[in-house]
Amino acid sequence: MAVQAIQNSGYHLRRILNYFPQEISLAFAYGSAVFRQTGASQANAKNNMLDFVFAVDDPITWHTINLMQNRSHYSFLKYLGARQINNVQNKYGAGIYYNTLIPCHEKVKILVQKENAQISTALNTNLKSAITTAFLMLPETFSEEELYFQIAGLSYSGDFRMIIGEDKTKVVNIVKPNLGHFQKLYCSILQECPQAVYKPTQGKVEVDKSPEGQFLQLMSLPKNLQQKITALVDQPGRNRDVEEVLLQVAQDPDCGIVVQQAIFGIVKSSSLAQSAKGILTAGFRKTFLYSTKKIYKMMKSMHQ
């Protein structure tokens, strides 16, 4: 959901949850309205859009209750009911239902995280996967800042909105003022990683780029990324298994490029589908207003 923030707050607030059904396993906020970005005007921060995500165990029940509490948040799809909203959410795009331009009075970061082993495991696995993927696309030795640039750029590689609608320096603007946040997230993982040597005092990382090291990294990637790499590399008709293809990729000097191409394809496909779905879930008027703000922001950044 994208909330139009009206009043800025200097501390973590949970009152925003009172606007929504309470059956939420995880709620977090992100974006320039939450974490400072280079070039973002702090004077106008109170008017920034605040993006946040709710993870719920039973989306049909959640949407049923939210339709009663916040019917105006939805587009015309509200007339189809919670079950059809859930179908749109799960069958198309990134598996997310997106409402935008919702008026609200607070700002948040992580609001709720229930004691849920599955969610905690998924969050930790996601961090490890991001680091491993970045390792494969970086040289043998790199700075900690370069690592975070690579990680932050993963979700933007292939996103067509980076061509029109987003600040071209967005990744740099995200990382530079938030190095401390990145270090807090990834420091312990780097220290425990057997394939990397982390030198925090120097701000340097060395990673194993041998075929054996890269094979281990490739084998620990998410399954859908492994399958995308296999589809890119395997010749038609050969139908080799994933492990055999990844062993070949690990020995390829262009291993990092192959991984990057696979990520590009995944993000491009889901971003196009999710954006098209957003027209349905947000409605045409809100989509136009939201897109206009994005384009204005992009054009403004290009002239700075």
Given a contact cutoff of 8 angstroms between Cβ atoms, the answer to whether 240 and 234 are in contact is yes
pTM over 0.85: no
Percent of the chain having pLDDT more than 90?
44
Given a contact cutoff of 8 angstroms between Cβ atoms, the answer to whether 14 and 112 are in contact is yes
pLDDT band at 9 (very low <50, low <70, confident <90, very high): very low
- Of 277 and 214, more confident: 214
Domain ranges of the chain: 2-114, 118-269
In the sheet with 196-199, reading across from the earlier edge strand, the strands are 141-143, 204-207, 196-199
The answer on pLDDT for 120 being more than 70 is yes
| Residue range 142-151, pLDDT digits in tens | 999 999 999 9
* Pairing verdict, β 110-113 and 26-30: antiparallel
In the sheet with 2-5, reading across from the earlier edge strand, the strands are 102-104, 2-5, 49-55, 26-30, 110-113
**C-alpha distances out from residue 65 to 68, 86, 96, Å:** 5, 13, 17
Residue 160: per-residue pLDDT: 67
| Residue range 253-301, pLDDT digits in tens | 999 999 999 999 988 888 777 777 777 777 777 766 666 666 556 555 5
The answer on pLDDT for 174 being more than 50 is yes
Given a contact cutoff of 8 angstroms between Cβ atoms, the answer to whether 53 and 28 are in contact is yes
| Residue range 30-83, pLDDT digits in tens | 766 666 666 655 545 555 667 778 889 999 999 999 999 999 889 899 999 999
Mean pLDDT of the chain: 81
Given a contact cutoff of 8 angstroms between Cβ atoms, the answer to whether 57 and 142 are in contact is no
Residue 296: per-residue pLDDT: 56
Alpha helix (H) ranges present in the chain? 59-69, 82-91, 117-137, 144-153, 170-175, 179-192, 211-219, 223-233, 242-250, 255-282, 284-302
- Of 115 and 27, more confident: 27
Q: Which of 64-78, 80-94, 152-166 has the lowest mean pLDDT?
A: 152-166
The answer on pLDDT for 7 being more than 80 is no
The answer on pLDDT for 185 being more than 70 is yes
The two tokens of residue 203 are 């701000």
The answer on pLDDT for 240 being more than 70 is yes
Residues 6 or more apart whose CB falls under 8 angstroms from that of 110 comprise 12, 26, 27, 28, 29
Distance, CA of 10 to CA of 261 (rounded, Å): 40
- Of 1 and 233, more confident: 233
Intra-chain end-to-end CA distance of the chain, in Å: 29
Average pLDDT over residues 75-97: 89
The two tokens of residue 152 are 């932050």
* Pairing verdict, β 196-199 and 204-207: antiparallel
Residue 4: per-residue pLDDT: 47
The answer on pLDDT for 234 being more than 70 is yes
Identify the sign of the CA torsion 108, 111, 117, 118. negative
Given a contact cutoff of 8 angstroms between Cβ atoms, the answer to whether 214 and 252 are in contact is no
